[in-house]
A and B are shown apart, each in its own frame.
Chain A
Amino acid sequence: GEDVEQSLFLSVREGDSSVINCTYTDSSSTYLYWYKQEPGAGLQLLTYIFSNMDMKQDQRLTVLLNKKDKHLSLRIADTQTGDSAIYFCAETPRGSTLGRLYFGRGTQLTVWP
């Protein structure tokens, strides 16, 4: 399978910015995704970026893609306690007619008041 790596834990203070990082191995990936999992719940799609883009902004979320280094990051501005969750990076390899997703292990974000 594909390899998607993430750091496991991140703690920030409320109001600060959070940056969650991800590296992937398949340079042919078409889409890269960020999913959020709140305690006891399923995954919810937060945002995604197409591989021909460098950056995507969506309200408090900024996704940066460095294709040369195969590095994806998710920045959350003005982080709130409600942002505490596990964040998963995922990719869809090129040629995947299924739209199959390969997930990282997830980053547990803890926001302190």
Chain B
Amino acid sequence: NAGVTQTPKFRILKIGQSMTLQCTQDMNHNYMYWYRQDPGMGLKLIYYSVGAGITDKGEVPNGYNVSRSTTEDFPLRLELAAPSQTSVYFCASSQSPPPGGVDTQYFGPGTRLTVL
């Protein structure tokens, strides 16, 4: 059971380039999330998905796109990279929390992205 895996671990992009951050989970979780963590800051939610084919925006979605064609995969796309997107990106997944129930999110190891 690998949990949540992310690739690549590190990437340097030039302004205007595009890339896709990959995220895969093998726990059959319905919910998946993308967060970004800026230096000295907490995590901010970019996009989330409650199941295959369903995605929605979080707090900071501008400049990103997502898709969820399978339960396992939730890639994050940057179309036109900007220096403001320099950050560490974390993917997470969880089982559907019951109403009012606790939600245990499992995190991947992160992708460190630098845009120059």
Place the interface of chain A in its size category. 20 to 34
Q: Check A48–B59 contact: CB distance below 8 A.
A: no
Bound CA span A43–B108, Å: 8
CB neighbours (8 Å) of B21 from chain A are none
Q: Are B4 and A30 in contact (CB under 8 A)?
A: no
Instruction: Give complex CA distance A43, B18 in Å.
Output: 27
Query: Which of B42, B97, B106 has most chain A Cβ within 10 Å?
Result: B42
Shortest C-beta distance, A2 to chain B (Å), equals 10
Residue of A nearest to B56 (CB): A98
CB of B107 within 8 A of CB of A44, answer: yes
Measured as residues with beta carbon below 8 angstroms from the partner, the interface class of chain B is 20 to 34
Q: Is the interface of B mostly helix, strand, loop or mixed?
A: loop
Interface string of A63-94 (1 = CB under 8 A from B): 00000000000000000000000001010101
A4–B40 Cα distance when bound, in Å, is 14
| A88 pairs with B42, CB closer than 8 A | yes
- Which residues of the partner chain B approach A8 to less than 8 Å between Cβ atoms? 40
| B43 contacts A103, C-beta separation under 8 Å | yes
A45 contacts B104, C-beta separation under 8 Å: yes
Q: Which residues of A contact B107 (CB under 8 A)?
A: 42-44
B7 in the interface (beta carbon within 8 A) = no
Report the separation of the CA atoms of residues A83 and B112 in the bound assembly, to the nearest whole angstrom. 23
- A residues sitting closer than 8 Å to B (CB atoms) are 1, 4, 8, 30-31, 40-45, 48, 50, 88, 90, 92, 94, 97-106
